[in-house]
């Protein structure tokens, strides 16, 4: 019996996020000391928190730089934390990336680089390729974000426009050993996709990047197209000799978060259906699909209560001018499609604590969501069409606000059938 569905759903989200925090997944997995220098570099929403754990566990000499979004810093002392803009890169990220390349560029085979990589690192670790500017990278990044391109497509383009992504950080560190510890925010957990794979070989090609620009009809600066048409834009590939002293370990992923939430639910006597940790597609389309699934499961003679869990990363192709994020758009589409069906509640949040252009991690819905919205003069279907879910959930006080969680394994969704 669940007396307070909203509190229960929030507790599932808290269990999921707690399982993938740096202090839970990093300790005990640090490499042994190098005979030479130990240099820590990193980028992403968890980078500073990971660096803080490294500092606490490491007794020998330590130096380095990590870059994280504004507001995501932990209290590091020996490893410098730089805050920069995400998802659109800025000068702070540019300067940090240049300093990281300078730091690893003078190492020898007695030295070791510990790379702490997590979601968000691609935008934060910005070092334009020769002949390109930060303005060029921003223009491409903003276009990709608006286009509805999947994360692996966005990262394919980013790698080929970068002096540090797509294996180039590891190549710049050679002949030092590079040990990468990562928290994955991408469906499939491909090391080459997480933060655009700065320390692993890139299986994609510049021709793939050009095809993505064409697929989404992106209008990019001429310098960008010219660079991608040049063989010099090609990234290091798997098997490249400059990467032969590089290793990669994934510390946490969406599956870990979902399993933690499932364990919490089972402990409360709630049945669980796991749909998977790699669901993608348009947020509103997935919301409508899950409404049908929830309605179908509610009609079955299943033991109650029961929760449907899923993860992954949806996309939003921008056509409206509203506020919100992919999790809130998913939820509003789910609510509209359910039409106030009794006994179905849901939560959808981003595990990094920030959903789209709102300060919320996401939101919750219940059977009364649509009626409460209408009493406030809102028309949910029209709000959905205008992509203004953030405004609706703010008016209903249904936002889930956590602040930055300093980790990221992407979307977390839970539909509770009572």
CA-to-CA dists, residue 298 to 1, 112, 209, 293, angstroms: 16, 55, 44, 9
Banded model confidence at residue 319, pLDDT cuts 50, 70, 90: confident
Q: What is the mean pLDDT of residues 75-93?
A: 94
Residue 345's H or E segment, with its range, is strand 344-350
Banded model confidence at residue 214, pLDDT cuts 50, 70, 90: very high
Residues 20 and 40: their CA atoms lie apart, in Å, by 21
Is domain 21-252 annotated with CATH 3.40.50.10180?
yes
Question: Tell me: the pLDDT tens digits for 175-197?
Answer: 999 999 999 999 899 999 999 99
- Is the predicted pLDDT of residue 321 greater than 90, yes or no? no
- Is the predicted pLDDT of residue 270 greater than 90, yes or no? yes
Banded model confidence at residue 1, pLDDT cuts 50, 70, 90: confident
Query: Domain 5-17+255-417: which topology?
Result: glycerate kinase, domain 1 (3.40.1480)
**How high is the pLDDT of residue 318?**
81
* All CATH 3.40.1480.10 domain ranges in the chain, comma separated: 5-17+255-417
Output the pTM of the full model.
0.91
- Tell me the pLDDT of the chain averaged across its residues: 95
Asked if 358 and 390 count as a contact pair (C-beta separation under 8 A), the reply is yes
Which residues, 6 or more positions from 58, have their beta carbon under 8 angstroms from its beta carbon?
Answer: 30, 38
Instruction: Count how many Cα atoms sit within 13 Å of the Cα of residue 376 in the half-sphere of its side chain.
Output: 15
Phi and psi angles of residue 194, each rounded to the nearest 5 degrees, phi first: -60, 115
* All CATH 3.40.50.10180 domain ranges in the chain, comma separated: 21-252
Residues 148 and 202: their CA atoms lie apart, in Å, by 22
Residues 139 and 142: their CA atoms lie apart, in Å, by 5
Q: What is the mean pLDDT of residues 367-385?
A: 97
Question: Tell me: the pLDDT tens digits for 238-267?
Answer: 999 999 999 999 999 999 999 999 999 999
Which strands sit side by side in the sheet containing 411-417, from one edge to the other? 271-274, 306-312, 411-417, 344-350, 362-365, 399-400
> Do β-strands 112-118 and 38-43 pair in parallel, antiparallel, or remain unpaired?
parallel
According to DSSP, the residues that pair with 113 across neighbouring strands are 39, 178
Q: What is the mean pLDDT of residues 265-279?
A: 96
Instruction: Count how many Cα atoms sit within 13 Å of the Cα of residue 43 in the half-sphere of its side chain.
Output: 32
Which residues, 6 or more positions from 148, have their beta carbon under 8 angstroms from its beta carbon?
Answer: 216, 282, 315, 316, 317, 318
């Amino acid at each position: 019996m669940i007396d307070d569905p909203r509190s229960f759903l929030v507790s599932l989200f808290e269990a999921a996020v707690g399982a993938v925090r740096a202090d839970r997944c990093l300790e005990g997995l640090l490499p042994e000391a190098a005979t030479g220098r130990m240099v820590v570099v990193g980028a992403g929403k968890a980078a500073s928190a990971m660096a803080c754990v490294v500092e606490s566990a490491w007794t020998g000499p330590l130096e380095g730089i990590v870059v994280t979004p504004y507001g995501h810093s932990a209290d590091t002392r020996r490893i410098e934390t730089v805050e920069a803009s995400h998802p659109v890169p800025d000068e702070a990220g540019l300067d940090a990336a240049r300093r990281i390349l300078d730091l690893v560029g003078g190492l020898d085979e007695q030295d070791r680089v510990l790379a702490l990589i997590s979601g968000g690192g691609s935008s934060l670790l910005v070092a334009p390729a020769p002949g390109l500017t930060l303005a060029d990278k921003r223009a491409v990044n903003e276009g990709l974000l608006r286009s509805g391109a999947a994360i692996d497509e966005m990262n394919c383009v980013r790698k080929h426009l970068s002096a540090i992504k797509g294996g180039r950080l590891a190549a710049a560190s050679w002949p030092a050993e590079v040990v990468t510890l990562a928290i994955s925010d991408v469906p499939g957990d491909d090391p080459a996709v997480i933060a655009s794979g700065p320390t692993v070989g890139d299986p994609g090609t510049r021709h793939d990047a050009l095809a993505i620009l064409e697929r989404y009809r992106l209008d990019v600066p001429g310098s960008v197209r010219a660079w991608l048409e040049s063989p010099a834009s090609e990234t290091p590939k798997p098997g490249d000799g400059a990467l032969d002293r590089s290793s990669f370990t994934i510390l946490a992923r969406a599956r870990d978060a979902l399993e933690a939430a499932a364990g919490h639910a089972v402990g409360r006597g709630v049945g669980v259906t796991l749909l998977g940790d790699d669901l993608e597609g348009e947020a509103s389309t997935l919301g409508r699909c899950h409404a049908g699934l929830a309605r179908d499961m509610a009609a079955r003679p299943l033991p109650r209560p029961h929760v449907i869990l899923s993860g992954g990363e949806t996309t939003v192709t921008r056509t409206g001018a509203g506020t919100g994020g992919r999790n809130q758009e998913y939820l509003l589409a789910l609510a509209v499609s359910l039409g106030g069906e009794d006994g179905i509640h849901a939560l959808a949040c981003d595990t990094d604590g920030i959903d789209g252009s709102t300060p919320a991690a996401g939101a919750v819905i219940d059977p009364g969501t649509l009626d409460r919205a209408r009493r406030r003069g809102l028309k949910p279907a029209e709000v959905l069409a205008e992509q203004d879910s953030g405004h609706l959930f703010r008016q209903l006080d249904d936002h889930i606000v956590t602040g930055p969680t300093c980790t990221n394994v992407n979307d977390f969704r839970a539909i509770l059938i009572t």
